[in-house]
Chain A
Amino acid sequence: AQSVSQHNHHVILSEAASLELGCNYSYGGTVNLFWYVQYPGQHLQLLLKYFSGDPLVKGIKGFEAEFIKSKFSFNLRKPSVQWSDTAEYFCAVEASWGKLQFGAGTQVVVTP
């Protein structure tokens, strides 16, 4: 069955710490990959996306993600987090246009 797995449900870290959120997917064919973020009280926003080309993609707010095809992974990273990065992060796979399958989400709390 097709699936998207996010490794951590909750992450708590201090400001300036590095963040890495794992995402693995299970799909048979070519997929597009996304990371979305939902800040408290706000709607989902796109952080970054991968369609093809350079497997290291850069997004907004200093986030980046690396697509490793052999591992079916699309991990999100940020070298130094800020308090404002407190949010829920969703990995998603698009197997056909507009139809996203989301991971369970990771709640990230950054403490001052």
Chain B
Amino acid sequence: SAVISQKPSRDICQRGTSLTIQCQVDSQVTMMFWYRQQPGQSLTLIATANQGSEATYESGFVIDKFPISRPNLTFSTLTVSNMSPEDSSIYLCSVGTTNTGELFFGEGSRLTVL
């Protein structure tokens, strides 16, 4: 299994500001994934963070709004830029294991944008 730590666990932000969420994993992983869970909705994949290359974004998500860093095999950050109330969500980091195919999730970072 993988233990994933996210910071911050929650934050309240002002419209127009940016916030960076950190994800730390207790083991080296090739790919890390960032998901969003908007209030009352399911999880949606934002992007895949690859070490050594640019992140791959899903349809509807762009790098300017959600820049991602992946400096090494155990760490990634997701920035939510120029926030609006519609960005109020839980943002989750996840990693997978190729031997079991299971995805592990962090506890999430709950953002509220006023």
Contacts and interface: CB of A to CB of B under 8 A. Distances in A.
Interface of A: 32, 34, 36, 42-46, 49, 51, 90, 94, 97-105
Given A43-B108, A98-B31, A98-B96, A90 B43 contact: yes
Nearest to A6: B42
A102 B43 contact: yes
26 contacts: A32-B101, A43-B92, A43-B108, A44-B43, A44-B92, A45-B105, A46-B103, A49-B102, A51-B101, A90-B42, A90-B43, A97-B31, A97-B96, A98-B31, A98-B33, A98-B94, A98-B103, A99-B45, A99-B48, A100-B43, A100-B45, A100-B103, A102-B44, A103-B42, A104-B41, A104-B42
A51 B100 CA distance: 10
The majority secondary structure among interface residues of chain B is strand
Contacts, number: 47
Interface of B: 31, 33, 41-45, 48, 58, 92, 94, 96, 98, 101-108
B40 to A, nearest CB: 9
Please give me the 4 A-B residue pairs with the lowest Cβ-Cβ distance, nearest first.
A44-B105, A43-B107, A102-B42, A102-B43
Contacts of B98: 97
Nearest to B97: A98
A97 to B, nearest CB: 7
A32 to B, nearest CB: 6
